[in-house]
Amino acid sequence: MWAWLQHGDWHVTLQLLLDALLLVLVLVLLWDRRRPASSGSSRQVVESFERILAETQTLSDAFERNLKERGRLIEKLLESLDARLDEARTVLKRLEQHRAVAPDSLSLPPRDPSPKTPAERILQLADAGHSPQDIATRIRRPVGEVELILNLHKLQQKKSE
């Protein structure tokens, strides 16, 4: 049976060996494809899911810490606002008590009840000897306006003389 190997060409022998090797490789590949590939790839999928789960847990923990910190900050802010509100209420009560005790001392001087123009009232008060600041306070006008009216009146008097 092996006699043809002894008389044959070495090329033929090499060709037969290579064909047999190729046949074995094809059979191994076919056998490997028929076997479920779940062992390697399913491990990879499980590992991937485990990594995703770990990352999700890390993000969840960070989010929870962030929410707790924000809650603490909001509580501190509310406490501070409550304290300021209490202070404001205390100040308001003091002001109301002070106003009730001395209502005349806090109010502005009464206006001149005569129905004159502001310029006439300014001139009348100036003739009575009041300063521009006092006049401005009494008629509730800016000091600059009072001084302007007084200066214009002086110029007008000089021209008419």
DSSP string, 9-50: -HHHHHHHHHHHHHHHHHHHHHHHHHS-THHHHHHHHHHHHH
CB-facing half-sphere around the CA of 13: CA atoms within 13 A: 9
- The domain ranges of the chain are 43-107, 111-160
Summarize pLDDT for 25-74 with one digit per residue, the tens. 888 888 877 766 556 677 888 888 889 989 999 999 999 999 999 999 99
Per-residue CA distances from 23 to 9, 10, 12, 29, 89 (Å): 22, 20, 16, 10, 98
Q: Is the pTM of this model over 0.75?
A: no
If you average pLDDT over residues 83-104, what whole number do you get?
84
Give percent of the chain with pLDDT exceeding 70.
Answer: 81
Asked whether the predicted pLDDT for residue 111 surpasses 90, the reply is: no
